[in-house]
Amino acid sequence: MSSIITLAHGSGGIKTGELINKVIRSIISFKKVSSGVGLDDLDDSAIIPLNGEMLLALTIDSYTVKPIFFPGGDIGKLAITGTINDLAVMGALPIAIVDSIVVEEGFSIDNLRRIVQSMNEVSVKEGVAIVGGDFKVMPKGNVDEIVITTAGIGLVRKNELVLDSGAKVGDKVIVTGTIGEHGATILAMQLELEATDFNLLSDCSPITKVIREVLSIGGLHAAKDPTRGGLATALNDIAKKSQVNIVIRERDIPISRGVRAICELTGIDPLHLACEGRAVMVVDGEVAETIINKLRNIGCSDASIIGEVTEEGEGLVFLKSVVGGTRIIDPPRGEVVPRIC
């Protein structure tokens, strides 16, 4: 392991995992509350047992996306949305958020107002209160424009808790829409391309309604929002924690023409590009088609079954290509797109 921090350590891929395991988890000794879910589990939210059948879900994330305004959203919308989604994929109903905003000296107050308005719009629409926060200013050149950290809490019933480790042989893998939209949009802007020329728009949006609809059907065994590291990292997390092997089919993965074009231009694997408004779910095979029909009825027109859990195993993810070959899908090893979220 490197003796210094590199951009790859923030990619959400292999280097991030190494850093968390060797530097953070190896030092922290008190990692969970009672029988809850904590640092050793590395799920999308921590879980703290309450009295009776209710659990408290708790999550935190920092947002450094560049540019801070992009087609489909901005850093404020992204921060609230990302926190809501990390709670939702645990089966939790998000209820409250606190934020910490750090800006660079000289930052535009009009831009700050615009960002806070975006945060408020998502908060009101989703019924998730922004109950407090912190605000700091750093000297010019000591932070790049703005960094937002958000922590969220939600409530989840024990019988609705969804963990990464819940995938079972025979389950189907579902994605709720086209993948890589957010990552491709940010990448295009960082390359000074016109995102509109590729018909790119970040998918930044809350997925609470989607998860609640699936929970009402039943059979949801694992779920993640594939942000940093994209679909590849999300599926690898589920496979490894569940100790199963997963096979996905390239032909069934919904990818827009714009995302394909950016990936062909840059050589980036679309499975490594971040989504900010999608869920990847592992569900009981017997209800998979019912879930797909429900998702399409509520507006997820590109929801698709892309694969299945094939066997108990080492936690590997395989891709069957359109030409018939099979390869192992790993999380990204380096920084695919810096400051993606």
* CB distance 122 to 81 below 8 Å: yes
Pairing of strands 146-157, 54-63: antiparallel
Q: Are residues 193 and 139 in the same domain?
A: no
Number of domains the chain is built from: 2
Q: Is the residue at 24 inside a domain?
A: no
Residue 213 in any domain: the answer is yes
CA gap 254, 341 in Å, rounded:
22
Do 142 and 171 lie in one domain? The reply is no
Give residue 196's pLDDT. 78
Domain finish residue from 125, 160, 195: 160
Is the pLDDT at 66 greater than 90, yes or no?
yes
Place of tokens 């999380």: 331
Confidence of residue 337 (pLDDT cuts 50, 70, 90): confident
Q: What is the pLDDT of residue 2?
A: 75
In this structure, the answer to whether residues 47 and 102 fall within a common structural domain is yes
Domain-ending residue, one of 160, 180, 210? 160
Indicate the pLDDT class of residue 338, thresholds 50, 70 and 90. confident
Q: Which region among 94-98, 132-136, 231-235, 331-335 has the lowest average model confidence (pLDDT)?
A: 331-335
Do 154 and 128 belong to one domain? yes
Mean pLDDT of all residues in 269-286: 98
Q: What is the dihedral of CA 180, 182, 185, 187, to 10 degrees?
A: -80
The enclosing H or E element of 54 equals: strand 54-63
Claim to verify: residue 169 and residue 318 sit in the same structural domain: yes
The burial of 113, by beta-carbon neighbours within 10 Å (0-12 exposed, 13-18 middle, 19 or more buried), is given as exposed
207/319 same-domain check: yes
Residue type, 92: A
With a pLDDT cut of 90, the percent of the chain lying above it is: 89
| Domain match, 194 and 77 both | no
CA 178 to chain centre: 14
Any domain includes 4: no
Range of the domain at 94: 31-160
Beta bridge mates, 313: none
pLDDT score for 107: 98
**90 lies in a domain?**
yes
Residues 229 and 310 in one domain: yes
Residues 168 and 296 in one domain: yes
Give residue 78's pLDDT. 98
For residue 140 the two structure tokens come to 């010019």
219 in the same domain as 156 = no
Give the sign of the dihedral formed by CA 328, CA 331, CA 332, CA 334. Answer: negative
Per-residue pLDDT reduced to its tens digit, 195-223 = 778 899 999 999 999 999 999 999 999 99
Q: Which pLDDT score is estimated for 217?
A: 98
Residue 301 pLDDT level (bands cut at 50, 70, 90)? very high
Q: Residue 17: what pLDDT?
A: 87
Domain membership of residue 209 (yes or no) is yes
Which of 128, 160, 192 delimits the end of a domain? 160
The per-residue b/e assignment along 195-227, b for 16 or more CB within 10 angstroms, e otherwise, is beebebbbbbbbbbebbeebbeeebbbbbbbbb
- The phi-psi region of residue 155 (left if phi > 0; otherwise alpha if psi is between -120 and 50; otherwise beta) is beta
Kindly report, residue by residue over 155-189, the tens digit of the pLDDT: 999 999 999 999 999 999 999 999 999 999 999 99
CATH at residue 151: 3.30.1330.10
More confident call, 6 vs 111: 111
First to last CA, the chain: 25
The CATH number of whichever domain residue 253 belongs to comes to 3.90.650.10
Q: Are 98 and 184 found together in one domain?
A: no
Q: Do β-strands 46-49 and 54-63 pair in parallel, antiparallel, or remain unpaired?
A: antiparallel
pLDDT, the chain, mean:
96
Q: Examine the pLDDT at 334 and tell me if it is beyond 90.
A: no
Residues 6+ apart with CB under 8 A from 130: 80, 96, 97, 98, 99, 119, 120, 123
12, pLDDT greater than 90:
no
In a domain, 19, yes or no: no
Q: Which residues contact 107 (CB under 8 A, 6 or more apart)?
A: 137, 145, 146
281 in any annotated domain? yes
Asked if residue 136 and residue 187 are part of one domain, the reply reads no
C-alpha 28/C-alpha 59 separation (Å) is: 17
Q: Peptide bond before 67: cis, by omega within 30 degrees of 0? A: yes
